[in-house]
Structure 1
Amino acid sequence: MKTKGHCLCKSVTWEFEGAITWQCYCHCDDCRRNCGAPVVAWLGVPLKHFSWTGNKPETFESSAGVYRHFCGNCGSPVGFEADHYEGGMHRYAASMENPSDFQPTFHVNYGSKLHWLGLADELEKHGSTLAHSDKDLSAYR
């Protein structure tokens, strides 16, 4: 299965082949501020099956070992990599060509959820990051 996506102006495009490793919502302050949204929808994919197919994005190191990718033309955030998620690429679900295919299974950083954000789901909720959860990240490699 091939999944594709792009930024707002379609200058930066991407694709990956195979299954999505995980799909979740993140409530951390960094992700919210990076996207200007109350929560961010992510999917994880192995880097070995991922490629930029259009212009390559610009990259901002938001903290030590954390890299946020964005389009240098329109400014859209298009991805996230971190040294502590070696072998993996976080993709914004909203950047998928078919974002309705996104099927989250859990929340991370739920302890940082904005009090006014109402969510009526029964998904698993982790108080901190994926790296500190019991999720198996071996599929990233």
Structure 2
Amino acid sequence: MTQMMTGGCQCRRIRYEARIASDEAYLCHCNYCRHATGGVSIAFTNVAQADVTWTGDPPDYFQSSPIAKRPFCSTCGTPLGFQFLDATNMDLTVGSFDDPGYFRPTSHFSIETMLPEWSDTSHLPGKRLDEHAPVADRWMKTLGKLPD
């Protein structure tokens, strides 16, 4: 079922509405995505460019290769997506949606450059933010509450 979803950058200067037809998303492991995000992979969902409306300021774009460009916020640095220069579809970063939990990973892309050590980290210990006093105290002193 198609639904409208919203998202945007961390500083909220750039916002979007997107018509989402599926909860499917994928992880890209290519070197370009790793360098563009600073992460070991990036989660994307594919949408028609015509189904995305930029409701805040329009995004800035970086042509990251001879065949593609990436929308981002030049104020806060949030990566917002990926699109081929000659395509009618684009990818939006799952993490930039207001409700990223809607999406589910269904595949990996560019597995030849995947970092296998990072593909399953479920066995590692975890800690909640509120259990880490130095960081929690900083938030409480500055904001009076922990972040959402």
Which bin holds the TM-score, normalised by the shorter protein? 0.7 to 0.9
Answer yes or no: is 1:49 the counterpart of 2:51. yes
Residue number in structure 2 paired with 1:114: 115
| 8 Å CA contact 1:68, 1:79 repeated in 2 | yes
2:39 to 27, 37, 47: 37
Per-residue Cα deviation, 1:29-88 (whole angstroms, up to 9, x for no partner): 11011111111100000112111110111111111131011102111111211035x111
| Structure 1 spans left out of the alignment, 5+ residues | 121-141
Q: Gapped runs of 5+ residues in structure 2?
A: 122-148
The farther-off stretch of 109-118 and 73-82 is 109-118
Relative to structure 2, which stretch is displaced further, 12-21 or 49-58? 12-21
Q: Which of structures 1 and 2 has the bigger CA Rg?
A: 2
Over residues 100-140 of structure 1, what are the superposed CA-to-partner deviations in whole Å (9 max), with x where a residue is unaligned? 111111111111111321328xxxxxxxxxxxxxxxxxxxx
What residue number does 2:131 align with? none
Runs of 4+ in 1 over 4 A off after TM superposition: none
Q: Kindly tell me: are residues 111 and 56 of structure 1, through their superposed partners in 2, closer, same or farther at Cα, counting changes over 3 Å?
A: same
Cα RMSD after superposing both structures: 1.9
TM-score, normalization: structure 2? 0.75
Matches within 5 A, 1:1-141: 1-20=3-22, 22-83=24-85, 86-119=87-120
User: Greater share of helix residues, 1 or 2?
Assistant: 2
**Does the 8 Å CA contact 1:23/1:41 hold for their aligned counterparts?**
yes
Sequence identity of aligned pairs in percent? 30
Contact 1:11 1:54 in 2 (8 A): yes
